[in-house]
Structure 1
């Protein structure tokens, strides 16, 4: 059984796992250039949950949110890379095209995902995610709890991409 699934498949798996008493956590993001900050977040999350699910933003959403030169890696490549990490149990693409830095439109889409998956925990880093307060409210709305990794942000995909562009 592979780690990369559709949202509906993940929702069914999570429902079954929760019935077995497993604690399920959800992280969403781009994870375009995998770096130590991502790895630290996944490790932090896995300390709090039995099963870690990652929702990956689609290429079009990243492009309209981050700019025409992003993503660096296509969704299929990002999913495949993450699937090799032992801290991550399941990965699904977020298929709806949204500007995820617009809380008015993106918030509704994330709430739909939370309602469908119904994780025990939604996990984020308050230094890297300026919308964590919205996630806290949304988590409560589906009976989940937000867990924040309050560690200082050690790296940034955007900064790495900018640095690579300058140095090449």
Structure 2
């Protein structure tokens, strides 16, 4: 298997793939994030998300969007490395980069069956939730593993 095949470079191709899964009656789950230094918290979160359906799509922030969100010293790993790491997971079916401030355009274009974020969000604060719900989909939050974050790992490496 070539993990690069799971990295989708344009939205139209992903929409076609999503449509084929829909025609096969497969429940499609979508989540998004930076996934800069992949750790146990990410793995647990993504497994839980995938278990809510049969296919998992990840919207991955571009390097430029992470710099805007997290500061000039981030990301640690570039977009290609982060996408390949995520694509290597058996439970990930597609990864697509997005450079906008939020994944709204991706979510609104794909209209997944299930939209997932961590339980540090509430359904009313999840971007795209209204659109997914209006299309008959579900919005779920999953419990996060306490103590695991990229920022914590970076601080530990720095000795902070």
| Partner residue in 2 for 1:166 | 159
Find out whether 1:4 has 2:24 as its counterpart: no
- Counterpart CA distance in 1 for 2:72 and 2:28 is 34
- Counterpart CA distance in 2 for 1:34 and 1:141 is 33
> If the length of structure 1 is used for normalisation, what is the TM-score?
0.83
| Partner residue in 1 for 2:83 | 79
- Counterpart CA distance in 2 for 1:26 and 1:4 is 14
Q: Equivalent residue of 2:136, what SS?
A: coil
Find out whether 1:63 has 2:67 as its counterpart: yes
- Counterpart CA distance in 2 for 1:147 and 1:131 is 9
| Partner residue in 1 for 2:106 | 113
Q: Structure 1: which 4+ aligned runs deviate by more than 3 Å?
A: 151-154
- CA shift, 1:9, in A, is 1.3
- CA shift, 1:8, in A, is 2.1
List alignment gaps of at least 5 residues for structure 2. Answer: none
Aligned length: 154
Is the 8 Å Cα contact of residues 11 and 118 (structure 1) preserved in structure 2?
Answer: no
- CA shift, 1:142, in A, is 4.0
Measured on the aligned residues, the alpha-carbon RMSD in Å equals 1.8
- CA shift, 1:32, in A, is 0.2
- Counterpart CA distance in 1 for 2:135 and 2:76 is 33
Q: Equivalent residue of 1:48, what SS?
A: coil
| Partner residue in 2 for 1:134 | 125
Is the 8 Å Cα contact of residues 111 and 138 (structure 1) preserved in structure 2?
Answer: no
| Partner residue in 2 for 1:102 | none
- CA shift, 1:21, in A, is 0.4
| Partner residue in 2 for 1:33 | 37
List alignment gaps of at least 5 residues for structure 1. Answer: 99-105
Q: Which runs of structure 2 are paired with 1:146-165 in the superposition (5 Å)? A: 146-165=139-158
- CA shift, 1:11, in A, is 1.3
> If the length of structure 2 is used for normalisation, what is the TM-score?
0.87
